[in-house]
Amino acid sequence: MSTTPDLLNPVPPEQARLILGSTSRYRRELLQRLHLPFAVCAPEVDETPMPGEPPAALARRLALAKARAVAARFPQALVIGSDQVADLDGQPIGKPGTHEKAVAQLSAMRGRTVVFQTALAVVCQSSGYEAQDLAPVSVRFRSLSDAEIEHYLRTEQPYDCAGSAKSEGLGIALLDAIDSDDPTALIGLPLIRVARMLREGGLNALSAAGAA
């Protein structure tokens, strides 16, 4: 398992009370908003969907698998695992990886409503704490022209984002509406749920000592 210290809170995983089990820079940047020291560890989980696995079930399974994988190595820490799968009529849409695949994804989603299934899990092996939740985000895409799709992709190059769009950037211009009860879920980490689960697990972001 590879490990990467957080740039603002460089905590060695062996000493960390909190670990983000993800290589996503978007999730790392979001977690920094809670002002808690944390380490970052790659969970190295196989993300291949099971045959016929619904997007929400896939996201839930992977989020928990990531948290458990890192918690097994660092049993004293609270470990956050998260995964996001775009859901178009029950079909999973992942990260495009290439320009061509991103064009195909946005073309399929224009004028449609896509549910971004953002799953979260928090695990501490030593205490036995384990919780998970799903933060679905309903996103309605505009009826985009081919030229708009091309301009957006060339400008922002969101090839590492599920659904080929960054709502926190120019991608907001692709959309007609966003419906969510956890504002950061669409970016990749639902912080309302994260803060709640950490409190339940004994770590309070609003306590100077971090104790719940």
pTM higher than 0.85, yes or no?
yes
pLDDT tens digit string along 126-151? 999 999 999 999 999 999 999 999 99
Distance from C-alpha of 119 to C-alpha of 92, rounded to nearest angstrom: 14
Catalytic annotation, pick one of 6, 46, 83, 182:
83
Q: CA-CA distances (angstroms) from residue 31 to 28, 34, 109?
A: 5, 6, 29
- At 82 the pLDDT is 97
Residue type present at position 50:
M
Distance from C-alpha of 80 to C-alpha of 189, rounded to nearest angstrom: 10
pLDDT tens digit string along 43-92? 999 999 999 999 999 999 999 999 999 999 999 999 999 999 999 999 99
pLDDT tens digit string along 163-180? 999 999 999 999 999 999
Q: Domain 3-201 falls in which CATH fold?
A: Maf protein (3.90.950)
Q: Is 83 a catalytic residue?
A: yes
